[in-house]
């Protein structure tokens, strides 16, 4: 097809433009438009960049802006048609699991090194997630590092997100020479930075268990009985997230203190604090809306990718999966086989909040739905096989169930699968 070219810009036409004069009204209108563009340019870019989201029939690797089709950042291929990578089953795969050895990754925290702390079996390391009707792309550490060259990747949230962060480092670090990598902490231990020097890349973790400002923001001393979150206050933490190229949020566990949650209306510096108590689901909804608003205002969807990891389940009551009364994740060595298993806690209510808030938003965040697939893994928790910060009493030692950690996960293990899912959505959206 021949493309018609516009006629050349002649000298006669230029003389006509020189003679033209702008009316005072037109000049005022143009000046006003320019002022608005400068003042709200970032928000306008986000809004127009999000107007046309991915439709079921569109190429999943592009976003449409007007007539232009632009590839999503970091995407290199297509996912299989109709494949839901979060729906599947766990299969035994002794030949390909684990993806690394615990002893070979020096970055795993002592709270997650189950073998070092005496766990007698390794079966929890041998399970692979198999989506129904399709396959997960293999985690390619070389591709991930090359893609992160000159960039920043950051995990923001609580200790469960820190576990996923450490898992990512364990999946990558063996490709980097010993003298070309480092791990440092900043901002009173709130920010941990792993640097791959030859790639000029960083993978970071930022402690913000509520995402919003709270009385639990100290990365070391945060075990506070009465938790308090300041309404809408994401700027305190958010200033540390600007400029990040791949951002992975999570927040859930710290909200689960009961049916009600306390919200600070003013400032933590106020002498008399204005505190209101609201249903926990509504407090969580407020946090989700605040996070989405921050992403819309601060992240450019043409250059960055933002993820949100759903709730990490706990396994504190074995009766939930048909076990004996009084038990928990301690001594569990196999996954739950019931495909409909969900658990008995409040995750469904929180999932409904997320579904509602995200469903109404046009902010481009990729949702990593790890909740259901992780619910099957009662065998993968650290249980008693971790560093204990306080000496155990004789009563506890006599009853291991009483001090088993059924919240956090052994590494290597389940959280490596979370990163395989992140990899799939990053490169094959």
Instruction: Answer whether residue 248 shows pLDDT above 60.
Output: yes
HEC-encoded secondary structure of 123-152: HHHCEEEEECCCCCCCCCHHHHHHHCCCCE
Residues 6 or more apart from 418 whose CB is under 8 A from it?
A: 164, 167, 309, 368, 370, 374
**122 Cα distance to chain centroid:** 27
Q: List the end-to-end C-alpha distance of the chain, in Å, as a whole number.
A: 33
Q: Which of 63-72, 222-231, 309-318 has the lowest mean pLDDT?
A: 63-72
| Rounded CA separation 217/36 (Å) | 37
> Is residue 32 pLDDT above 90, yes or no?
no
Q: How far apart, in whole angstroms, are the C-alpha atoms of residue 30 and residue 420?
A: 50
Check if 408 is active-site.
yes
Our CA angle for 289, 295, 297, nearest 5°, is 105
Query: Is this model's pTM higher than 0.85 or not?
Result: no
Across the beta sheet with 365-368, the strand order is: 181-186, 191-196, 201-207, 152-157, 246-249, 305-309, 365-368
pLDDT value at position 343? 80
Tens of pLDDT, residue by residue over 314-347, are 999 999 999 999 999 999 999 999 999 988 656 7
Least confident of 70-74, 136-140, 237-241, 364-368: 70-74
Return the pLDDT at 26.
59
Instruction: For residues 277-304, give the mean pLDDT.
Output: 96
Give me the half-sphere count of Cα atoms (radius 13 Å) on the Cβ side of residue 273.
Answer: 14
**Given this model, what pLDDT does residue 63 score?**
41
Q: Which residue has the tokens 């259901």?
A: 372
Residue from 79, 159, 167, 214 carrying the catalytic annotation: 159
What distance in Å separates the CA atoms of residue 146 and residue 196, rounded to the nearest whole number? 11
Active site residue 159: yes
Question: What DSSP string runs through 66-120?
Answer: TTEEEEPTT--SPPPTT--TTSEEEEE-TTT--SS-GGG-TTS-TTT-TTTTT--
Task: Look at 24-33, 307-316, 403-412 and tell me which has the smallest mean pLDDT.
Answer: 24-33
CA distance 312 to 374: 7
Confidence category of residue 69, pLDDT binned at 50, 70, 90:
low
Active site residue 55: no
Query: And the tokens for 345?
Result: 């806690």
Split at pLDDT 50, 70, 90, the class of 219 is: confident
With CA atoms as reference, report the closest residue to 418 among 151, 157, 116, 76.
157
pLDDT surpasses 70 at 364: yes
pLDDT-derived band at 79, boundaries 50, 70, 90: confident
The pLDDT score that the predictor gives to residue 389 is 86
In this prediction, residue 222 has a pLDDT band, given cuts at 50, 70 and 90, of confident
Q: Is the pLDDT of residue 51 over 70?
A: no
Residue in the block written with tokens 């000298």: 11
Q: Is the pLDDT of residue 115 over 60?
A: yes
Average pLDDT over residues 296-324: 95
Higher model confidence: residue 155 or residue 266? 155
Q: What is the 3-state secondary structure (H, E, C) of 7-50?
A: CCCCHHHHHHHHHCCCCHHHHHHHHHHHHHHHHCHHHHHHHHHH
Per annotation, catalytic residue among 158, 320, 405, 416: 405
Percent of the chain with pLDDT strictly greater than 90: 72
User: 133, 83 in Cβ contact below 8 A?
Assistant: yes
Q: Which of 237, 315, 381, 408 is catalytic?
A: 408
Place of tokens 């949650």: 261
**Cis-peptide, bond into residue 98, ω within 30° of zero:** yes
Given a cut of 80, is residue 46 above it in pLDDT? no
Name the one residue in this structure whose structure tokens are 């999946």.
171
Structure tokens at 423: 């990899």
Residue 150 vs residue 48, higher pLDDT = 150
């Amino acid at each position: 097809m021949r493309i018609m070219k516009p006629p050349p810009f002649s000298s006669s036409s230029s003389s006509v433009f020189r003679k033209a004069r702008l009316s005072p009204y037109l000049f005022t209108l143009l000046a006003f438009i320019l002022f608005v563009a400068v003042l709200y340019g970032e928000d306008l870019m986000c809004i127009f960049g999000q107007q046309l989201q991915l439709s079921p029939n569109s190429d999943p690797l592009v976003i449409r802006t007007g007539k232009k089709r632009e590839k999503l950042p970091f995407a290199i291929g297509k996912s299989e048609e109709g494949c839901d990578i979060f729906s599947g089953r766990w299969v035994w795969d002794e030949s390909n699991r684990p993806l690394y050895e615990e002893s070979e990754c020096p970055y795993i925290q002592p709270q997650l090194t189950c073998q070092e702390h005496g766990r007698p079996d390794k079966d929890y390391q041998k399970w692979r997630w198999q989506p129904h009707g399709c396959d997960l792309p293999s985690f390619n550490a070389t591709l991930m590092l090359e893609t992160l060259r000159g960039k920043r990747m950051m995990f923001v949230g609580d200790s469960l997100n820190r576990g996923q962060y450490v898992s990512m480092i364990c999946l990558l670090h063996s490709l980097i020479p010993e003298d070309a990598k480092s791990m440092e902490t900043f901002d009173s231990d709130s920010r941990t930075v792993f640097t791959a020097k030859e790639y000029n890349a960083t993978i970071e973790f930022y402690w913000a268990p509520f995402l919003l400002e709270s009385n639990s923001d100290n990365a070391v001393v945060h075990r506070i009985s009465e938790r308090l979150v300041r309404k809408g206050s994401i700027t305190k933490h958010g200033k540390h997230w600007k400029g990040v190229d791949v951002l992975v949020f999570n927040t859930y566990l710290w909200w689960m203190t009961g049916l009600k949650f306390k919200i600070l209306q003013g400032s933590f510096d106020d002498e008399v604090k204005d505190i209101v108590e609201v249903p926990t689901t509504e407090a969580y909804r407020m946090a989700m809306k605040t996070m989405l608003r921050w992403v819309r205002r601060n992240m450019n969807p043409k250059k960055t990718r933002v993820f949100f990891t759903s709730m990490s389940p706990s396994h504190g009551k074995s009766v939930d999966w048909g076990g004996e009364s009084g038990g928990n994740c301690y001594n569990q060595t196999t996954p739950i086989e019931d495909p409909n298993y969900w658990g008995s806690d409040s995750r469904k209510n929180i999932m409904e909040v997320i579904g509602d808030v995200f469903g109404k938003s046009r902010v481009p965040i990729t949702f990593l739905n790890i909740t259901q697939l992780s619910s099957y893994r009662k065998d993968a928790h650290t249980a008693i096989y971790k560093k204990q910060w306080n000496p155990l009493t004789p009563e506890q030692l006599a009853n291991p169930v009483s001090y088993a950690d059924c919240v956090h996960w052994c590494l290597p293990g389940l959280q490596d699968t979370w990163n395989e899912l992140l990899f799939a959505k990053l490169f094959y959206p």
